[in-house]
Amino acid sequence: MYLSSEKTNIKLLGTVFITLCCLASQLPSEAAASRVFPSSHGPIQATTLKSDLHHPWGMAFINANRVLITERRGRLLALNLKSKHTQVVRGLPRIIAQGQGGLLDVAIDPQFEKNRWVYISYTGGLPRSKSTHVGRGKLQNGKLNQFQVIFKASPLMKSQFHFGSRLVFSNQGHLYISLGERGQKSLAQDPSNHSGSMIRVWPDGSVPADNPFLKQRGYQPSIFSYGHRNMQGAALHPTTGEVWAHEHGPKGGDEINVIRPGRNYGWPKTTYGIDYDGTIISTQTTLPGITSPIHHWTPSIAPSGMAFVKGPLFSKWRGDLLVGALKDRRLMHLTIRGEQVLEQEPLLGELAERIRDVEIGPSGAIYLLTDSKNGSLLKLTPQQ
Amino acid sequence: MYLSSEKTNIKLLGTVFITLCCLASQLPSEAAASRVFPSSHGPIQATTLKSDLHHPWGMAFINANRVLITERRGRLLALNLKSKHTQVVRGLPRIIAQGQGGLLDVAIDPQFEKNRWVYISYTGGLPRSKSTHVGRGKLQNGKLNQFQVIFKASPLMKSQFHFGSRLVFSNQGHLYISLGERGQKSLAQDPSNHSGSMIRVWPDGSVPADNPFLKQRGYQPSIFSYGHRNMQGAALHPTTGEVWAHEHGPKGGDEINVIRPGRNYGWPKTTYGIDYDGTIISTQTTLPGITSPIHHWTPSIAPSGMAFVKGPLFSKWRGDLLVGALKDRRLMHLTIRGEQVLEQEPLLGELAERIRDVEIGPSGAIYLLTDSKNGSLLKLTPQQ
């Protein structure tokens, strides 16, 4: 899919630096914004590619040079990693940036080179009546043209909490949308609404013929699984093609789940967590008919963003999982065998940044977004 | 998408010939089966890559080396152009090979490398109650695994005529299925059945959210356009992304149409043809509400198979249309500007073969299937 290798670009970037360092004063400092951190893969170099991002939330690579980044306040940025040019993409819909809501994830169509579709998830509706929406537009000349809403979660509510959401394309071309339960626990166990569900639709929002609840009266046909609390990380497993997702627990009980059709993941009937005020939500961690997580974090780390390691750069970690931690201000490296988490290695502790999103770039480098008013795009590579 | 260039393969093929010509007696004659024909692109070399095909109907390239070929009697062949090995693919459904029916077209999923789905169109049902079906299976170890029917045309009928059909994937991932009207003219003007329609579905058979008749009571929601007679050629326009299709007229009135949503292409209300017995079908060639063809052949050529020229080999013809002719036993080269046919150049007349299918291979060579009990796969390249 990628026309040129990232290695080539790094060389070109070097040339640009040499040429321009006398002209543009900020370039030398950006080039110098690089630190080294220890890891089980050996020393890792973390380079700041872009700072001054206002609460960046999601990212998607168009190719080795171009990445799209969302800011929760409602800006979509197209960043050229070679020229360092940043463009604010126009043509976005009205976005309600309140509380945990705003512009959330971004994804590009599997056939983007042919059809130019870019997908965003965001809080849409009105300030007092809103929900997670997903829309798409054709990225042309810095604008999302022909913008159309392909999914609106029901119900629309005033709540400013638990919107999810991540967008993941499957190898079949389905679009998975992870949601939250808007802070209304009971909604997560009621599949007549979308709250607390994983959604699976075609890219135009239509419902696949084999969705699990298609013929079940009273169920939302786009629901793929339910009983989730707030999923802010999801990724396609590189060999099985299944979607894995994590979700925030309350106080304790953050979970990783392998998402399977028609399953109930239990919230709030089962949980490893307790409520923020210390009260018991459920004494059950497992129940018949409920699928258990393959991993939980108690106490919570507040996970956000997730990626499976692939490509040549971090070959020792291939197939492992990387999860951003907001509260813990770390990148979690989980050694995976089958569906088991064998080990957990916290990384970048010295950086002390809230990690909002994790992606593997076209060449296999790890890219992170840090969550703050002055957030950054970081690139991790093994130290040369 | 293709891992190696066809040029490399040709070289390797040469090596194989040199190595094996003493061992396998049929190879030297196959290697020699090459003729040169004149054309407006200069002399064209036609090489027989495979003979002994029993009424081959459709083909689809997996990569530069591997092509799938259907035989109407119900065999799907996987041909390795490098090793010359041919495998009969197992796992096909029951196919009713009668009259014009049988195994028709084959297509591979836009994400085939990730999901292995292969699609076939065929006559399914029972000998006295049958229609065009489309199904898919995952091509693994020479077998279509997990085979599922994703579309069945209604109504099922005894008729052995006008099953269509070609399969075309759009840049959005939609699957277009061209059908015939089963020899029952009136069905083509009645969108409560599928006969005489172009179908548009998602690869699992579900209906896209923006199909034109989705909310029209009594209409089949999968219909994209109707009023067609028998479409045995369809192709995606390389720049507009629209589907173009041709259809057999009766006696005269073969048409090329640009397929647009919700349109009625007129059969049998309008036609440039007359019935085989000489009677008038319609005195009208145009009517309000009916979309006219961009080109018609009167007398008929009996078109089958269609491809837009792309790639580097036939650069002078880029964007032009190639159409196989059964009755005329030629390959038609149509010079296209916008939606106009400027010129028509009949090719390969000296070959005197019925051309059933036309495809452009990964490297830009033209591939043809000839229709007979001893049909062939031919490759056309500019003479070196």
Written as one string, the DSSP assignment of A281-323 is: S-S-S--TT-PPPSEEESS---EEEEEE--SSTTGGGTT-EEE
Residue B29: per-residue pLDDT: 43
Chain B contact present for A137, CB below 8 A: no
Residue B28: per-residue pLDDT: 42
Q: What φ, ψ does residue B68 adopt, rounded to 5°?
A: -100, 135
B278 vs B53, more confident:
B53
B111, B150, B209 member nearest A204 (Cβ): B209
**Which residue in B31, B35, B88, B58 sits closest to B371, CA to CA?**
B58
Calculate mean pLDDT across residues B174-182. 98
**Which residue in A277, A230, A236 sits closest to A254, CA to CA?**
A230
Name the stretches of chain A with pLDDT < 50.
1-32
CB–CB contact A173 B208 (8 Å): no
Taking 60 as the threshold, does the pLDDT of residue B1 lie above it? no
Mutation choice for A interface testing from B2, B202, B239 by most A CBs within 10 A = B202
Q: Which two tokens stand for residue B362?
A: 């990964």
Residue A384: per-residue pLDDT: 79
- CB under 8 Å to A227, separation ≥6 — which residues? A188, A189, A196, A263, A264, A265, A266, A267, A269, A290
pLDDT tens for residues A2-35? 333 333 333 333 333 333 333 333 444 444 489 9
Distance from CA of B184 to the nearest CA of A (A): 30
Other beta carbons less than 10 A from residue B46's beta carbon: 23
Buried b (16+ CB within 10 A) or exposed e, A135-168: bbbbbeeeebeeeeebbbbeebbebbebbbbbbb
The tokens 């326009």 sit on which residue?
B237
Chain A contact present for B111, CB below 8 A: yes
Taking 60 as the threshold, does the pLDDT of residue B3 lie above it? no
Taking 50 as the threshold, does the pLDDT of residue B21 lie above it? no
Give catalytic residues of A, as residue numbers. 162
DSSP string, A330-373: EEEEEEEETTEEEEEEEE-GGG---EEEEEE-TTS-EEEEE-ST
Residue A96: per-residue pLDDT: 98
Mutation choice for A interface testing from B136, B204, B215, B242 by most A CBs within 10 A = B204
**Which chain A residue is nearest to residue B238, measuring alpha carbons?**
A114
Residue A275: per-residue pLDDT: 87
Taking 90 as the threshold, does the pLDDT of residue B156 lie above it? yes
Residue B9: per-residue pLDDT: 39
pLDDT tens for residues B216-271? 999 999 999 999 999 999 999 999 999 999 999 999 999 999 999 999 999 999 99
Residue B33: per-residue pLDDT: 82
CB–CB contact B241 A205 (8 Å): no
pLDDT tens for residues B60-72? 999 999 999 999 9
Q: Which is the catalytic residue, given B162, B174, B194, B248? A: B162
B15 vs A180, more confident:
A180
Taking 50 as the threshold, does the pLDDT of residue B15 lie above it? no
Residue B278: per-residue pLDDT: 87
**Which residue in A176, A179, A173, A174 sits closest to A154, CA to CA?**
A179
Note whether B149 and B204 are within 8 A (CB): no
Calculate the CA A211 to chain-centre distance.
Answer: 23
Chain B contact present for A205, CB below 8 A: yes
Distance from CA of B173 to the nearest CA of A (A): 8
Taking 60 as the threshold, does the pLDDT of residue B4 lie above it? no
Residue A78: per-residue pLDDT: 98
Cα–Cα distance, B325 to A102 (Å, whole number)? 58
**Which chain B residue is nearest to residue A203, measuring alpha carbons?**
B172
Q: What's the pTM?
A: 0.87
- Using a pLDDT cut of 90, give the percent of chain B over it: 88
The tokens 């049988």 sit on which residue?
B102
ipTM: 0.81
CB–CB contact B241 A206 (8 Å): no
B22 vs B308, more confident:
B308
